[in-house]
Amino acid sequence: MRGLFYILFLFVTFNLLGKEINVSYPISPVLQLIVIKHKGLLEKEFAKDGVKIKFHAINNGLKQAQAVAAGKVDLCTGINTTSIIIAAGQNIKLNIIRALCNPTGTLALMTTNPNIKSVKDLKGKTIVGPCEAMLHQLLLETLQTKNMTIKDINYIPTSLTNAYNAMFAGKVEAALLGMTEMIKAKNRGARVLATPKGLMRPKLVVAVSESFAQNHPDWVGRYVKVQNEAMEFIKNHKREALQLAAKDQGISYKDAEWLYNNTNFINTLNKDDINSIKDDIDFLYQQKLIPRKVSILSEGAAIDVYFQDFVKDQISICAVSSPSILDSLHNLSCGELRHN
């Protein structure tokens, strides 16, 4: 009997020690994520259960999705919906559990070349930036407005950091930049050639694998709770939050404040977001970035529809809401909603 008890004790102990949530942490994170990491909010939430949190620095959205498919990441804390669409075209399905922001004001196609006056001047020139992500889509949308295609330029995919460095080294004519790199470039005199305004509606969200959503619906709800705590911290301790962001990104407090004021933070996807996802899918299919018309939304998804089967649907009930009923659901987690 004592031997059986000892075996059970070891089983429970090793099982607890083996619990881990692998979380992607973008190189250019938005403020909620910075607060979550540097205030240890996830660690505090899961400490009592012996669940460890492991962060992985992955900036590219598609690479985040591929890391999920490979079983290396459970939770993508900041991934753009363009990459989710492209991942779906590669049969990698993610469940959106929360929205982060519409970063229209913090994404841009920029140049330091005095001879580049407009997008038309980029014909035959070299442009660098992230591939298969919302900045890539911005480039394609921008070119289309000038009756140009990717074939009219020399496009070299690279990271945000490499794009920034290449532009200021004079090696390329323009770069696609976002968040921290954009404001750094702006401070150094780089000029904006195009932004998403009037062209597309960028959406940054939190997403998990289908298996993670199925096996740990309570953990999903608890992550949403933690993100809400981060937003509440920002609301009540804005200065401290911006100081954390400035230190994390190596920028001034003033620049961190500019990013905060221009990022457009959200918690849920609204009707315009959902409609724009459908437009994005059509555009990316037209541009041959996906092999077929995919769907990252449930059939007939609308702003006032709350899905009953969290696992089956590709977008969670927690990520879609309408103002009229948001208040009544404010205190419910994803796990609680799933069983209603």
**pLDDT at residue 248 is higher than 70:** yes
What is residue 57's three-state secondary structure? Answer: strand
Residue among 1, 218, 26 nearest 103 (CA):
26
**What pLDDT score was predicted for residue 288?**
95
Phi and psi angles of residue 138, each rounded to the nearest 5 degrees, phi first: -60, -45
**What pLDDT score was predicted for residue 214?**
86
**What pLDDT score was predicted for residue 335?**
32
The pLDDT tens digits for 39-77 are: 999 999 999 999 999 999 988 899 999 999 999 999 999
The pLDDT tens digits for 82-123 are: 999 999 999 999 989 999 999 999 999 999 999 999 999 999
Mean of pLDDT values over 327-331: 36
Where on the phi/psi map is residue 231: left (φ > 0), alpha (ψ -120 to 50), or beta? alpha
- What is the pLDDT confidence band of residue 2, given thresholds at 50, 70 and 90? low
**pLDDT at residue 135 is higher than 70:** yes
C-alpha span between 193 and 197 (Å, rounded) = 12
Percent of the chain with pLDDT over 90: 75
Mean of pLDDT values over 176-204: 96
What is the third-level CATH fold of 105-194? D-Maltodextrin-Binding Protein; domain 2 (3.40.190)
**What pLDDT score was predicted for residue 76?**
94
Q: Give start-end residues of each CATH 3.40.190.10 domain in the chain.
A: 2-102+202-338, 105-194
Are 8 and 240 within 8 A, CB to CB?
no
**pLDDT at residue 78 is higher than 70:** yes
Question: What is the pTM (predicted TM-score) of this model?
Answer: 0.83
C-alpha span between 287 and 110 (Å, rounded) = 22
**What pLDDT score was predicted for residue 31?**
95
**What pLDDT score was predicted for residue 40?**
97
Domain 2-102+202-338 sits in CATH 3.40.190.10:
yes
**What pLDDT score was predicted for residue 322?**
40
**What pLDDT score was predicted for residue 210?**
83
**How many residues make up the chain in this entry?**
340
- The overall average pLDDT reported for the chain is 85
**pLDDT at residue 298 is higher than 90:** no
**What pLDDT score was predicted for residue 19?**
87
C-alpha span between 218 and 339 (Å, rounded) = 11
C-alpha span between 53 and 59 (Å, rounded) = 18
